[in-house]
Amino acid sequence: MATASSIIIFPGCGWNELPAYYRNLFEKLTDRHSVYMVSKLAEPCSAPSEVNMLSLKQLEEMNGEAFVAVVMQPYWTPVAMAAGPKRLIAMPDAPREEDPALWAKCRKWLCGRADLIITDSEPYYLEQTFCAEHVFLLDGRDEISDLLALQAFFWTLDGFTPKPLARLQQRSQADRYERRLCERSESDEPLELQDLFAHAVYRYFIYDLERAKGALLSSFGLAVKEGKIDALRKYYRFLSAIEAKQGLTRQAVRSYSFTAITPEEKRIVRQMEEWLYHGKEGLAGAMLYRMNADFRQALERLDLIEPEPEALRLILDSGIKSGRLNKALEQLDASPAATETERKQFALLSGTVALLAGRRDEAARSFEEAGEAFHEELGNLADLAELEAAMQELTR
């Protein structure tokens, strides 16, 4: 049925409901690849004739044939992974306030497992870029940016890492925001707060750190003028991540301390100051990234320092928060649980990984072993039952 160059799409809606730029992408793929779309009974739909419908029964009969899975609906993840794809491409819908909790978790787990993430939502693109390197924006608004996303898709299909293209897209986005800000300034139009902050974030991604700092401080100043009550925490706090990336860890801790409001945040400041006192600059830097939700940088920093209990806890936390559950599980495997709480957390994590891989019985055993233990970022027996019901809806 499907060859090594086959692509199987696990959709979240009908063909006509897909954004035009997604349909164009899939149609282009048919020139070089066999493209299938999973449907309940391989029933005809409005897709072009080159896009073949594939029933679940036909999917089960593939017997390990190589293919690339494109998962657009997070609840399909266990089905797709159980079929053993050569590579996994995630193209989920952006988060919405009304999303069920399980949907949000499955989307995070899907992206944490994917070899490539493509989204048409810039806020979600930014969120995921703080978690992984292989994230691309494809929204039909910028020709160069869209071209890079399409190339990343083809590179992934051919077995190459798309990471070099990610940096190019980030630079393209940074330049786009800079042009927009310059145009508004030259026409005496007021600058937009979110444009300034987005420019700072993109400059941060591409290590243009002095310009990132300038844009960030401008956004903070504008937020103060506009009376934003979250100016310190939402804008100024990011200065600590920029300074950490510059290697100015002590200064970064001080910058973060100005934004620490809650007892927990103040405790973390004291912890980072203690680490600095004992020469543990790597740990302090990793915590700064973690507190700025830059889990990718946190994990990269932690990979460079000697394993110790504080570092192991940070790796586990950042891995779970970013959806990189296999990374977190590797960490727990390397350091056997010493307490009952740790053993139950290991069971929850193992169960979630098994659930996503489509190993339902193994997941159930792990969740039963965890008992009443709960972690809001991980799965449990209730999630297993809810996911099974959701998958039945998909295939009904």
157 token code pair: 């299909």
pTM of the predicted model, to two decimals? 0.93
Distance of alpha carbon 197 from alpha carbon 219, whole angstroms: 6
Q: State how beta strands 51-54 and 67-71 pair.
A: unpaired
Chain position carrying tokens 């497992």: 113
For the beta carbon of residue 277, count every other beta carbon within 10 angstroms. Answer: 9
Q: In what order do the strands lie in the sheet with 67-71?
A: 51-54, 34-38, 6-10, 67-71, 87-90, 116-119, 135-137
Q: What average pLDDT does this structure show over 382-391?
A: 89
Residues of the chain with CATH 3.40.50: 6-114
* Per-residue model confidence (pLDDT) at position 3: 47
Residue type at position 68? V
pLDDT tens-digit readout, 51-108: 988 888 888 877 556 899 999 999 999 999 988 899 999 999 988 888 899 999 999 9
* Per-residue model confidence (pLDDT) at position 176: 95
Taking alpha carbons only, the member of 257, 256, 304, 258 closest to residue 281 is: 304
Q: Tell me the fold of 6-114.
A: Rossmann fold (3.40.50)
Residue type at position 292? N
The torsion angle over the Cα atoms of residues 237, 239, 241 and 242, rounded to 10 degrees, is 170
Taking alpha carbons only, the member of 52, 56, 26, 197 closest to residue 118 is: 26
Is residue 293 very low, low, confident or very high in pLDDT (cuts 50, 70, 90)? very high
For the beta carbon of residue 334, count every other beta carbon within 10 angstroms. Answer: 10
